[in-house]
C-alpha cells in the first residue's frame, strides 16, 4: 500500500513514457522545444512494465494512466499496454494524448487492452489551434478523437485549457460540440508548469469564469462530492443529462486532501505531486539488480513523505524545475 502521513492512499499511477512531444503548446514548452532526455536515461519497456508490475502486485495500484510528453511517440507503447493488461490483478488503463497519432493506433491500443483515452483539444478553430500549439495539426486531432470513439476507447474525454486572449470565450462552443459527438469535456485551469515560467495567477481563466460562461447557454446541475470521490474534476450534469462537463480547478479549488495519485517520470523518478520539487530515484535501484521488495520499500517511503498540498495558495510557491512535458499530466 502507498499511504502517506495524512492517511491518503495512492491507487492511481501516472506513467510518463517520454518527455518528447510533437506539439509546442504555449502553456507547456517554448517554441524551440526542450533539451530531451538522453535515451540511456529513459526507462526501457521492460523496466516500465516491471515497475508497473511492482506497483500493481505489491503496492495496491488499481489504475494506470500513460502520459508524456506525448505517449503515442513511444515506439513500444502497444506492447507495454498488452503486457500490463496481463497482470493479475489487471489494472484499469487509460492514456492522455494530444490525439495526433490516434487515427492509426486506436484500434491496436484497444486490442492490446487499453480501456479509454483523454485527448487534449483547446479550441474548435484551426487558426487558434495553430497559435496555441505552434503546429497546424487540428484536423489530425479531430480524426484521432473519431478513431478513439470508433474503437470503443470510451468514455472519450476531452481536456481543454482556456487562455486569455486566445480561446477564453470558447467554453460554450466546446461543450455544445462535445455533447453533439458524445465526448466528455473537462476544462483544466492553466497550471504553473510551463518551461518558460510565464504563468501568472492573476491572468488565468478560472473555474468560476468557465462555469459562468457555460451557464450563458446551458443549465448545469452539480453532481456532488459523493459522485466525485477522489477524481480531480468537479462535474456538472448538462441540461438534465445524460452528458456531463467537468472542471479541474487545480489552482483555485485544489483537491489535494483527496489525492490518490503517484507519478513515475520517463527517467524513473517517483514524484508525489505534479508540483513537487523533490523526486525519488527508482531507476538506479532498478538497474542495480535490486529485488522487487526493495524497490517497493523505496516507493512506499517516498509516498510516506508526501506533502499536505501543492502550495499554490502560498505566496512563496516556487514552480517545479521540470515542465509538464517531462513530468506527465
Binding-site positions for [4Fe-4S] cluster read 21, 25, 28, 256, 259, 273
Residue 62: DSSP 8-state: -
Residues 6+ apart with CB under 8 A from 100: 22, 23, 70, 72, 137, 140, 141, 144
Q: Encode 113-133: b = buried (16+ Cβ within 10 Å), e = exposed.
A: bbbbbbbbbbbbeeebbeebb
Residue numbering of the annotated binding site for S-adenosyl-L-methionine: 27, 69, 120, 191
Residue numbering of the annotated binding site for GTP: 14, 65, 96, 157, 261-263
**In the numeric block, which cell numbers belong to residue 226?**
459523493
Question: In sequence order, what E strands does 89-167 have?
Answer: 92-97, 116-120, 157-160
Residue numbering of the annotated binding site: 14, 21, 25, 27-28, 65, 69, 96, 120, 157, 191, 256, 259, 261-263, 273
Please give the Cα distance from 290 to 260 (Å, whole number): 27
**In the numeric block, which cell numbers belong to residue 18?**
517520454
Inter-residue contact 20 to 70 (CB < 8 Å): yes
Inter-residue contact 47 to 102 (CB < 8 Å): no
Amino acid at each position: 500500500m502507498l499511504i502517506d502521513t495524512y492517511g491518503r492512499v495512492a491507487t492511481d499511477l501516472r506513467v510518463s513514457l517520454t518527455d518528447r512531444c510533437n506539439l509546442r503548446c504555449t502553456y507547456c514548452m517554448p517554441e524551440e522545444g526542450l533539451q530531451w532526455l538522453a535515451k540511456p536515461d529513459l526507462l526501457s519497456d521492460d523496466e516500465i512494465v516491471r515497475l508497473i508490475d511492482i506497483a500493481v502486485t505489491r503496492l495496491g495500484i488499481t489504475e494506470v494512466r500513460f502520459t508524456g510528453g506525448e505517449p503515442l511517440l513511444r515506439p513500444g507503447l502497444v506492447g507495454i499496454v498488452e503486457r500490463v493488461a496481463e497482470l493479475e490483478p489487471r489494472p484499469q488503463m487509460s492514456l492522455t494524448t494530444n490525439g495526433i497519432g490516434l487515427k492509426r493506433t486506436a484500434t491496436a491500443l484497444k486490442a492490446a487492452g487499453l480501456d479509454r483515452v483523454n485527448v487534449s483539444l483547446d479550441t474548435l478553430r484551426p487558426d487558434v489551434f495553430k497559435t496555441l500549439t505552434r503546429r497546424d495539426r487540428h484536423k489530425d486531432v479531430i480524426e484521432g478523437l473519431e478513431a478513439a470513439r470508433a474503437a470503443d476507447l470510451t468514455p472519450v474525454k476531452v481536456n481543454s485549457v482556456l487562455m486569455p486572449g486566445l480561446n477564453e470565450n470558447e467554453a460554450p462552443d466546446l461543450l455544445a460540440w462535445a455533447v453533439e459527438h458524445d465526448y466528455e469535456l473537462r476544462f483544466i485551469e492553466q497550471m504553473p508548469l510551463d518551461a518558460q515560467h510565464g504563468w501568472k495567477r492573476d491572468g488565468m481563466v478560472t473555474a468560476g469564469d468557465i462555469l459562468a460562461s457555460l451557464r450563458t447557454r446551458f443549465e448545469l446541475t452539480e453532481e456532488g462530492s459523493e459522485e466525485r470521490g477522489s477524481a480531480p474534476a468537479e462535474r456538472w450534469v448538462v441540461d438534465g443529462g445524460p452528458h456531463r462537463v467537468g472542471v479541474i480547478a487545480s489552482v483555485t479549488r485544489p483537491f489535494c486532501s483527496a489525492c490518490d495519485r503517484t507519478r513515475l517520470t520517463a527517467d524513473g523518478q517517483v514524484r508525489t505531486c505534479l508540483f513537487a520539487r523533490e523526486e525519488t530515484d527508482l531507476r538506479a535501484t532498478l538497474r542495480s539488480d535490486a529485488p522487487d521488495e526493495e524497490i517497493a520499500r523505496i516507493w512506499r517511503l517516498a509516498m510516506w513523505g508526501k506533502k499536505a498540498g501543492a502550495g499554490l495558495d502560498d505566496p512563496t510557491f516556487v514552480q517545479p524545475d521540470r515542465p509538464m512535458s517531462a513530468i506527465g499530466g
